[in-house]
Amino acid sequence: MKLKYLGTAAAEGIPGMFCNCRVCRNALKIRGKEIKTRSQALLDDKLLIDFPADTYMHILNHGLDLRNIHNVIITHSHSDHFYPNDFWCRFEGIAYDIVEEPLNIYVTEAGYNKALRQLGEDMNETRVKFHKIAPFEPFDVEDYHIIPLAADHDSSSNPVIYIIEKGGKSLLYAHDTGIFPDSTWDYLEKYNKKFELISLDCTGMAQKNLRRSHLCLNTDKEVYDRLTEIGVCDKNTIVYVNHFSHNGMLTHKELVVEAEKYGFLVTYDSLEVVF
Ligand SMILES: [Zn+2]
Ligand SMILES: [Zn+2]
Ligand SMILES: [Zn+2]
């Protein structure tokens, strides 16, 4: 599989639009990997994970081609992951010469309701079709087997993290979660495969002991150690930390140095990982 990180930031992005902190000022000056847009990733150029407002920017800057994408899986309803207003741009009379239709969007209850509010009752289902998903109810999309797991995050956003399997390979995409809930650990303990790649929330960067709602480097290590202990990770597993906030108070360059102390790699916008 090939995972391309299109956006690697939390809600504000780095730099935050109105922010004048050291990290945001540095990002504007240095640009490159210091600039981080809102969360989105793309598997094998075809399965899109999350749909923030920055999707348009990812089309312009990172070569995202939505015309080739027929399935989108959403982690939760927060705006840095899900901005359904823009699906209006695919409606009849707005987008022309659409060959494959509709675009399938897999989303939990809160996201579904948000889409209803933003797009209205007429969802134009010939162009955009929403499918409700729930934790621990696996589903198949194209040649992917997708298992949503419970996350520890704002419960009103109905958050999930994902196991995504294809061709004997397995990815754990775990953003916007604190230390996993017991139900997720119970599932993982019975999971009889190893992950080739795990992508962990690092909103708090080098802060210490951020355990609820988001994670930081030292709690990522705790999660990684437990995943190793239960046998779903080993030394061959690639470990990236991702989903960054200026509240973590480190620049990308500083974070790379800190993450290395834990053996973790740091994502940046447009990074591609093949596994
Ligand atoms: Zn987020
Ligand atoms: Zn800032
Ligand atoms: Zn969130």
For ligand 2, the distance from its centroid to the CA atom of residue 15, given in whole angstroms, is: 6
For the CA of 201, the nearest ligand? 1
For ligand 2, the distance from its centroid to the CA atom of residue 115, given in whole angstroms, is: 29
Please state, rounded to an integer, the average pLDDT across all residues of the chain. 96
Q: For position 121, what pLDDT does the model report?
A: 72
For the CA of 77, the nearest ligand? 3
User: Which residues crowd ion ligand 3, with CB under 5 Å?
Assistant: 78, 176
Half-sphere exposure (Cβ direction) of 160: Cα atoms closer than 13 Å: 25
pLDDT tens-digit profile of 28-47?
999 999 999 999 999 999 99
CA 71 to chain centre: 15
Where is mean pLDDT largest: 87-91, 126-130, 146-150? 146-150
Answer yes or no: is pLDDT of 62 > 90. yes
C-alpha span between 84 and 116 (Å, rounded): 9
CATH number at residue 117: 3.60.15.10
Cis peptide before 15 (omega within 30 of 0): yes
C-alpha span between 86 and 126 (Å, rounded): 16
Q: What is the number of structural domains in the chain?
A: 1
Q: Are strands 40-43 and 169-174 parallel, antiparallel or unpaired?
A: unpaired
For the CA of 39, the nearest ligand? 1
For the CA of 157, the nearest ligand? 3
Q: Map residue 160 onto helix, strand or coil.
A: strand
pTM: predicted TM-score of the whole model, two decimal places: 0.97
For ligand 2, the distance from its centroid to the CA atom of residue 250, given in whole angstroms, is: 10
Strands (E), the chain: 2-7, 40-43, 47-49, 71-73, 103-107, 128-132, 139-141, 144-150, 160-166, 169-174, 197-201, 238-242, 265-266, 272-274
* For residues 238-255, average pLDDT: 98
Residues belonging to the chain: 275
For ligand 1, the distance from its centroid to the CA atom of residue 8, given in whole angstroms, is: 9
For ligand 2, the distance from its centroid to the CA atom of residue 225, given in whole angstroms, is: 31
Answer yes or no: is pLDDT of 124 > 80. no
User: Which residues crowd ion ligand 2, with CB under 5 Å?
Assistant: 16, 19, 21, 24, 246
C-alpha span between 119 and 27 (Å, rounded): 34
Range of the domain at 189: 2-274
Cα torsion angle, 165, 171, 176, 180, sign: positive
